[in-house]
Amino acid sequence: MTKIFKRISLILLVVMAQYGCSEFLELKPDKKIVAATTGENLLALMDNVESMNNNFSAGLTEIASDNLFLPVENWNAITLEEYRNPYIWAPEPVAQMYWNTIYRKILASNVVIDQIDDVTHTSEQARQQLLGIAKFFRAYCFFDLAQVFSVAYQSQDANSKLGIVLRLSSDVNIISKRSTLEQTYQQIIADYKEAVRLIGDNPTPLYPTRPTKAAAYGGLARTFLAMREYDLAGIYADSCLQLNNQLMDYSAIPGERPYPFERFNKEVIFFSQMVGSGLLPESVARIDTMLYASYEENDYRKTLFFSEANDGYLSFTGDYGQNTNASKFNGITTAEMLLIRAESNARKNQTDIAAKDLIMLQENRMLLTPEKLQSLLTLNKDQLLDEILSERRKELVFRGLRLIDIRRLNSEGTQFINLKRTLGDQTYSLSSESVETFAFKIPTEVIDMSGIEQN
């Protein structure tokens, strides 16, 4: 009797427990954690602004450029050597965030690309849009890294120079390997072109943090400019401007406010921010005095972009991201596209079209006197190009673009820009030839973990 009872109850227990067990154990442990099942899930990855749009490494290129300088005391007061080094182009590995954060963005893009067909979409158009966004981000990140960790692009030797690691899959088991510089740029172009193809014209998203077709055109224009493919750069800048060519009239912007620009203003085609730890905060970096002097008296940017610091030098306060700290806006703007289109046309000797673009920009930036206007229309090719390049530097200060310009202008052989730093009685310099072959060293931790080749 006892035995039978025991057996029955044991069987009962087991049956009871097994029944519904699988369902009981299917519950998600954390409501906030989801496995991606819909396109909206993946889109939420791309819309994570802090993770996708911020902390680009272009801050390093700004630090290495001639737009800014640091009084020696400010430089000395930065306690981390790792943060101080980029300013003097020291051949030392940079802080690991400059590498890791960008590859985290690339991973998110790759997850979207890998899983795009495993999830449901509201429409085919939504699927394409999402895929295009991911491709855009990947290209934007590769470009960012290529400017920091690779040498300047030269078509003749890009196949023999080291590019960056092109991770095209979210699979963590793939071993990292550095591509050639040519492969890097071809991947950037391919991804941007895919983005152009996939992202629809409309509607314009509520915030410029989500990539659009115009942004993808802008990315292509930037890329070809860095490659010194001026025709293509001009064409894509034009395509971008076809979709958005709004400019802000700086004369209408109140200058009393030290941070005069709205965060998502109408010139912003794509919103992103770069970081330059230790060095880029408004309290540390000062504007190159020559650069400041180059702004004309009636240029609104003189007051809208800069504020005087206690030491008598000028700090940059015209950031489109309203940042005071080490972050600065480095996204794509209509003004940048106008300048690319103008430069491209000027180089093609189409001076009248180029001058028109330049004037369109300057009208919104300064009090353009009739005399000045007239003089712009009479410039020859080289004069106009100089004027455009000067305008470009003044407009795109603190956007992480200057080092790219220095490199390509040196390569063009028309300008020879030597970089020099003075810190107390110490001077450091980077000659015009070495700027082209300069690349930041990859963080030690990355080299240690991945075994990839160091610069």
> Cβ(314)–Cβ(307) under 8 Å?
yes
| 426-445: contacts with another protein (CB under 8 A) | 443-445
Surface-to-core class of residue 292, CB atoms within 10 Å of its CB (0-12 exposed, 13-18 middle, 19+ buried): middle
**Which one, 37 or 242, has the nearer CB to another protein?**
37
**449 is an interface residue for another protein by CB under 8 A:** yes
Closer Cβ to another protein, 324 or 455, answer by number: 324
Which phi and psi (to 5°) does residue 336 adopt?
-60, -40
Interactions with another protein, residue window 247-266 (CB under 8 A): 257-259, 263-264
Which residue's CB is nearer to another protein, number 21 or number 377? 21
CB proximity list for 412: less than 8 A, separation 6 or greater: 228
Q: Tell me how far apart the alpha carbons of residues 368 and 356 are, in angstroms, rounded to a whole number.
A: 13
The Cα–Cα gap between 209 and 133 comes to 11
Q: Which of 56, 83, 99, 250 binds another protein (CB under 8 A)?
A: 99
**What is the residue-wise DSSP string for 284-319?**
T-EE-HHHHHHS-TTBTHHHHHEEE-TTSSEEE---
Residues 216 and 263: their CA atoms lie apart, in Å, by 20
**62 interacts with another protein by CB under 8 A:** no
* Min CB(392)–another protein separation in Å: 25
Considering the rule CB under 8 A, would residue 180 count as an interface residue with another protein? no
Name the minimum Å distance from CB 311 to another protein: 6
Contact stretch for another protein (CB under 8 A) within 73-81, 217-225, 335-343, 388-396: 73-81
Query: Strand runs (DSSP E) across 70-196, as ranges?
Result: 162-165, 178-180
- Applying CB under 8 A, which of residues 4, 206, 252, 293 lies at the interface with another protein? 206
Q: Which residues, numbered 78-97, are part of the site for another protein (CB under 8 A)?
A: 78-79, 81, 84, 92-93, 96
Among 159, 242, 283, 369, binds another protein (CB under 8 A): 283
CB contact at 8 A, 277 and 63: no
199 in Cβ contact with 213 (< 8 Å): yes
Which residue's CB is nearer to another protein, number 184 or number 351? 184
30 binds another protein (CB under 8 A): yes
CB–CB of 230/354 below 8 Å? no
Tokens 């894509």 locate to: 236
In a 13 Å sphere around the CA of 174, the CA atoms on its Cβ side amount to 12
Nearer residue to another protein within complex by CB, 352 or 448? 448
8 binds another protein (CB under 8 A): no
For residues 381 to 410, the per-residue mask of contacts with another protein, x marking binding by CB under 8 A and - elsewhere, is ------------------------------
Task: Tell me how many residues contact another protein (CB under 8 A).
Answer: 98
**Tokens matching residue 246:** 């709004």
- Nearer CB in complex with another protein: 5/413: 5
